[in-house]
Amino acid sequence: MSTVASPEELYCHNVLRPGNTNCAGCGMSIGLRWLDEALDGEKPTMVIPACCGIVTAGAFPTTAFGVPTAASTFASAAAVASGISNVYELNGESNVVVCWTGDGGTYDIGVATLSAAAERNENVLYICYDNEIYGNTGGQRSSATPEGVVTSTTPKGKSERKKDMMAIMAGHRIPYAATLSVAHRDDFLRKIRTARKTSGFRFLLMLSPCPTGWKSDPEESIDLISYAVRSGLFPLYEIFDGIRYRLNERPDGMPVEEYVTRQRRYTKVPTDVAPLKSYIEDQWRYLDAMAKAFPADGGVNPCHRIPSEDHDRKGE
Amino acid sequence: MARAMETGNHTAGYALAVAGEANRDARGCVCGAYPITPQSEIIEFLRGFVFTKGCVVPVESEHSAMAVCIGASLAGARTFTASSANGLAYMAENIFAAGFYRLPVVLIAVNRTLGPPWNIWVDQGDSLMLRDAALLQFYAESHQDLVDTILVAFRVGEDERVLLPVLVALDGFVTSHTQMVVDLPEQELVDRYLPHCKIPHRLRGDHPTTIGGLTWPRETEHHRIEIQEAMERVPQVLTEALDEFEQVFGRRPHGALSAEHTDDADMVLIACNTMARTLRNVVNTRRSKGERIGMIKSKMFRPFPREELLAAVSNAKRIGVLDRNHSPGSGGIFWQEVATTLQPCPDVIVQDYLVGLGGGDVTPRFIDEIIDDLASRDKAGKPVWKEVAV
Ligand SMILES: Cc1ncc(C[n+]2csc(CCOP(=O)(O)OP(=O)(O)O)c2C)c(N)n1
Ligand code: SF4
Ligand SMILES: [Mg+2]
């Protein structure tokens, strides 16, 4: 039975409240609501660096975030979150600390901070909403921008491949890393819950549709992510302890053209999807090899994995 | 009191540790730690200290050391860190942020020359680079001054009328790596002196607030005015903190500045840190020969104690400022403050001496030469480069 949310429910305690400044069709609007839903009523403490995600709040003294939120400097989200989570731990508080960051703050300027927090296995849930661009500053390249994409600083199309952040995080042997799709709700919610049940450093990477930066139609945002997954461009998978792989969804033969032709940032398309196709091929060869050599939990559904005693968080 | 023979760095480490420990019945303490010469022994000391409720997070950079303090302070803990030279420069973005968030992080600056080219010796250019942050700054002349000032720094920075980060500087090597006899206050006295750290705007699990988001010019103006007002309350809060210190520990640390023999002095020299100690010897020697000379040990640089300074030099005709720092294109940074303060007294000669940069040893001979130069002047000139490393 569905009920209508009371104004209090709607306005007070949701992670993302009405009145936020996200563009229509922004992936963050879905991601933040699903984060909220998957936490099953628990209120996270959020750390958000400079990025669209903090603009989302709107200007002081109002805020669209219904949970305690710290706006950090651009490179510092993982370190500020480390400070908060250490104090929570010292005080026996079980509140989950969530970093909500852009690709710029994750792949580029914040990568050393992120790497160090991961290496220390800080008790932090780190979520990168990857719109493959510096959205907040007007759409410049990042190292998450795919090859061929036109941005304001790659006017002829980016000539380098997208950085493999999942592999980098796996290299830190963190307890849990996974990719998130706003077109796969059940998978998304399950992964947030798995991450919540795991202690230590957790890294989630969400491909975040950005109509403004991608020059796409806001109403196609979810379809676009679905095409990215189905074409194999954005694989859905999980990595346990940085070494055991589980692939959640296989490409179904959807041509990558379906994805790229609906965005005007891929200006060379359809004449030149060859680089993207070889990127997809390499990526899947790598993931298949890893999943074969290091399968996760011998086929046991990882969301039922029980965290070990000594890793268990206080208060749980 | 436990009298001990300690290095400056261990003295600082000890003071931070007992201050952190004094918050064990509240929300504990957190230190973000990253090494740099000549600061490293401070964080090594802290990593070895067993806190009842506290932790030292070994981060990957000074930028993150301050970020960890920011997060921990936002969660209500007492926080501190330490650095030097390029570490302070690297940390700078988050030092500004800590001030703007109104978080009373205590930051120890072991003064060292900025590079490259690399030079590990003392120079105050590193901490003074941070003069425009919302950051209190104190300069400690001895090991005792250091431990006392660190405790006072927590007391003042965490006072609800202030709520700002506080930097406490000591001279690299000259103080950090030499030993002096020092009274290291016992934990129970520190517990009495330092109230529990309260961050009124800390993040609370049940209360949605967004700290550090977007502001418009109007809010920014108010924010900066509030910071200025907090700075203006510091002298009063400091006086109370020193009074209380005297009651608990039985001695009174120096205040914002200490004026020595200035009442009858025509000529006043101003210096900070260990240079002030050398200056004191020279001044005392010259006074014993009948010269009407005085000195000011400048301890609090931010907020700059303009009124106290004006009052202290009211009889002086000539003021010489010893600056172990250099702001290219301008001159010494203390001198800029002193000259601005002395604006109402256009007849007073305020002369700058850039001395001891890059760790050059400022011996009494050079200070004597500076005083002779000042005595012979009928007007102030450009900042004088007083080279000592010849
Ligand atoms: C140290 C520093 N350098 C540059 C900036 C300017 N800046 C703010 S947000 C941003 C880009 C953010 O990109 P991303 O993390 O991908 O988030 P998005 O805006 O795309 O959501 C930049 C360059 C800054 N705030 N701080
Ligand atoms: S620019 Fe992109 S990421 Fe930023 S709010 Fe708009 S749609 Fe979202
Ligand atoms: Mg981005």
Tell whether ligand 1 has an atom less than 6 A from the beta carbon of residue A214: no
A280 within some domain = yes
The domain total for chain A is 1
CB contact under 8 A, A113 and B67: yes
Burial class (CB in 10 A: 0-12, 13-18, 19+), B195: middle
The overall average pLDDT reported for chain A is 91
CA of B270 to the centre of ligand 1 (A): 44
* pLDDT at residue A7, as a whole number: 60
Least Cα separation, residue A227 to chain B (angstroms): 34
Query: Is A59 inside any structural domain?
Result: yes
- Which residues in A lie closer than 8 A to residue B67 (C-beta atoms)? 72-73, 76, 79-80, 82-83, 113
Specify if A267 maps to a domain.
yes
pLDDT class of A309 with cuts at 50, 70, 90: very low
Pick the atom of ligand 2 nearest to A102's CA.
3
Pocket of ligand 2 contains residue A212 by CB under 6 Å = yes
User: CATH assignment of B257-386, given 3.40.1350.10, 3.40.50.920, 3.30.70.260, 1.10.3720.10?
Assistant: 3.40.50.920
For the cut 70, the answer to whether the pLDDT of residue A230 exceeds it is yes
Indicate which atom in ligand 2 lies nearest the CA of residue A28. Answer: 8
pTM: 0.95
Residue boundaries of the structural domains of chain B = 2-249, 257-386
More confident residue, B125 or B205: B125
Residue A45 sits in which domain range? Answer: 7-299
Mean pLDDT to the nearest integer, B325-348: 97
Type and span of the H or E element at B340: helix B333-341
Q: Cβ(A221) to ligand 2 under 6 A?
A: no
The residue of chain B nearest to residue A55, with distances taken between CA atoms, is: B214
Question: What's the gap in Å between the CA of A198 and the closest CA on chain B?
Answer: 20
Q: Which of A13-27, A81-95, A237-251, B272-286 has the lowest mean pLDDT?
A: A13-27
Residue B225 pLDDT? 98
Residue A308, pLDDT above cutoff 90: no
**DSSP symbols for B27-94:** T-EEEEE---TTTHHHHHHHHHS--SSEEEEE-SSHHHHHHHHHHHHHTT-EEEEEE-HHHHHHHHHH
Do the domains B257-386 and B2-249 match in fold?
yes
pLDDT of residue A191: 98
Q: What does pLDDT average to over chain B?
A: 97
- Closest Cβ opposite residue B71 in set A67, A79, A120: A79
Does ligand 2 lie within 6 Å of residue A213's CB atom? yes
For ligand 2, whether the C-beta of A131 sits within 6 Å is yes
- CATH node for B2-249: 3.40.50.970
Structure tokens at B106: 């205590």
Ligand 3: distance of its center to the CA of A106 in Å? Answer: 9
Q: Is residue A172 part of a domain?
A: yes
What per-residue confidence (pLDDT) applies to A220? 98
Q: What is the 3-state secondary structure (H, E, C) of chain A?
A: CCCCCCHHHHHCCCCECCCCCCCCCCHHHHHHHHHHHHCCCCCCEEEECCCHHHHCCCECCCCCECCCEEECCCCCHHHHHHHHHHHHHHCCCCCCEEEEEEHHHHHHCCHHHHHHHHHCCCCCEEEEEECCCECCCCCECCCCCCCCCCECCECCCCCCCCCCHHHHHHCCCCCEEEEEECCCHHHHHHHHHHHHHCCCCEEEEEECCCHHHHCCCHHHHHHHHHHHHHCCCCCCEEEECCCEEEECCCCCCCCHHHHHCCCCCCCCCCCCCHHHHHHHHHHHHHHHHHHHHCECHHHCCHHHCCCCHHHCCCCC
Whether residue A1 lies inside any domain: the answer is no
Q: Residue A310: inside a domain, yes or no?
A: no
pLDDT surpassing 50 at residue B311: yes
- A315 found inside a domain: no
**Which CATH number is A130's domain given?**
3.40.50.970
